[in-house]
Amino acid sequence: MRLDKWLWAVRLYKTRELAADACRLQRVKMGGQEVKPSRTVKAGDVIEVRQEFLTRTVRVLQPIGQRVGAKLVPQHMEDLTAPETLAESARRREDQWLNTVHHTHGRPEKRDRRLLDAFLTKIRERNSL
């Protein structure tokens, strides 16, 4: 089973092309070494996948060739990523969302008001902690 196809099948990447590009850009490692998209995956392999705010470590339980539903992914992959790392990644994603500037032209619309309300709610929740 090809690595890029397996990464796509277990939903680590939305498309197989994105999985192959990640391999080419050296964002995927096996045994501490960068790998090509054509690398063969077998049960027991440990793969490190560097994504935007997170480096995930997963173990291959079963190589598969077709994309599976999200509920079936744990049968084919074991996530070894530390919970602290996942929490830090979620916090960084939230910070990015909160720091995004939304430019509008003219009078705010209903959608703009909802975004502003969501933003202010997040700020209030953070300050109350």
Q: Which domains does the chain have, with CATH numbers?
A: 3-81 (3.10.290.10), 91-128 (no CATH)
pTM for the model: 0.74
pLDDT mean by block of 10 residues, the chain; 129 residues: 95 96 96 94 96 93 93 95 92 84 73 89 83
pLDDT the model gives residue 109? 83
What was the pLDDT predicted at 56? 94
The distance of Cα 32 from the centroid of its chain, to the nearest Å, equals 20
Distance, CA of 35 to CA of 16 (rounded, Å): 15
Residue 97, classified by CB atoms within 10 Å of its CB into exposed (0-12), middle (13-18) or buried (19+), is: exposed
What pLDDT does 68 receive?
Answer: 92
pLDDT, residue 98, reads 78
* DSSP, res 105: -
Amino acid 113: pLDDT: 87
- Both tokens of 16, joined, read 């197989």
